[in-house]
């Protein structure tokens, strides 16, 4: 996977790695614990469309209810446990995605534009 946080997660920290992809529905998300972590939403091809962080169950359900990421069909988690670590990990993962793809994930890009207008 290369360097950066994503490479470290996959090679140096076996206890801190992404879960498998799960179908993104209220039924599957409701089975999650509401602990702090980073999550990725994937489209039908499991291409990342959003990276977020916080109490994962609450955040994932909120995105579903508000229909914020309509292309999202899957999700996966990186359990962090500490609120303080979530935002910095999310930022680093989005930055690494941007370096690889030349842009942030689709809905992170829209979120940035919304905040720039405020």
What are the boundaries of each domain within the chain? 18-108
Specify the pLDDT at position 70: 96
pLDDT at 55: 95
CATH 3.40.1440.10 at 18-108, yes or no: yes
What are 98-113's pLDDT values in tens digits?
999 999 999 998 765 4
Quickly count: other Cβ atoms within 10 Å of residue 58's Cβ. 12
Neighbours of 23 (CB within 10 A): 10
The model scores a pTM over 0.85: no
Taken in order 5, 74, 44, 50, the sign of the CA dihedral is negative
* Higher-pLDDT residue of 6, 91: 91
């Amino acid at each position: 996977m290369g360097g950066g946080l994503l490479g470290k997660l996959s090679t140096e920290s076996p206890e801190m790695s992404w879960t498998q992809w799960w179908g993104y529905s209220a039924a599957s998300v409701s089975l999650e614990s509401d602990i702090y972590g980073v999550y990725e939403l994937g489209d039908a091809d499991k291409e990342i469309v959003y990276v977020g962080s916080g109490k994962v169950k609450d955040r994932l359900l909120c995105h579903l209810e508000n229909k914020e990421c309509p292309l999202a069909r899957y999700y996966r988690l990186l359990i962090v446990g500490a609120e303080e670590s979530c935002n910095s990990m999310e930022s680093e993962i989005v930055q690494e995605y941007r370096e690889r793809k030349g842009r942030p994930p689709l809905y992170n890009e829209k979120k940035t534009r919304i905040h720039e207008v405020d």
